[in-house]
Amino acid sequence: MSRQKTNSITHLVKIVAQEIWDQNTPRTEQVITYNIDAKDLIDNLVNNLRKAGASWSLGEEDLLRKEMDVALKTLAVNHQRTVGAIVARIKFLGIYEGITEGWGGKDE
């Protein structure tokens, strides 16, 4: 499988979630869901553009760390591996070059 490269863990999780969705959902259900999600995607894009260039608050940074922790733990559970193994494989595959094991989360 050829997976697009990204520098964003959030984007990586969305890519993996989409792959799982595509593998496990009948095509007709996917089309219906995509139509419903289009407004949410547009709203999200508009909100993201409003924050472009803005400084990050401490609360946003803390939330990002927590989301990163959840994303990596979810990947670890899905692959029956440790978070450290997931981080190592992500780096090995070149999916996200900047990730390190000491990013702030804990391997459980």
For residue 101, being part of any structural domain is answered with no
How many domains is the chain built from? 1
Predicted pLDDT at 27: 56
Token pair 């007709």: residue: 28
Predicted pLDDT at 69: 87
CB-based contact 49:73 (threshold 8 Å): no
Higher pLDDT, 104 or 66: 66
Q: What is the pTM of this model?
A: 0.48
For residue 102, being part of any structural domain is answered with no
For residue 51, being part of any structural domain is answered with no
How many whole angstroms separate alpha carbon 56 and alpha carbon 53?
Answer: 9
The pLDDT tens digits for 8-24 are: 777 777 777 777 767 76
The pLDDT tens digits for 26-83 are: 655 545 555 556 777 777 777 777 777 888 899 989 998 888 888 889 999 999 999 9
pLDDT of residue 3 exceeding 70: no
Q: Angle, to 10 degrees, between the axis of helix 58-79 and the axis of helix 83-93? A: 90
For residue 40, being part of any structural domain is answered with no
For residue 19, being part of any structural domain is answered with yes
Which domain range does residue 80 map to? 9-23+56-93
For residue 85, being part of any structural domain is answered with yes
Predicted pLDDT at 106: 47
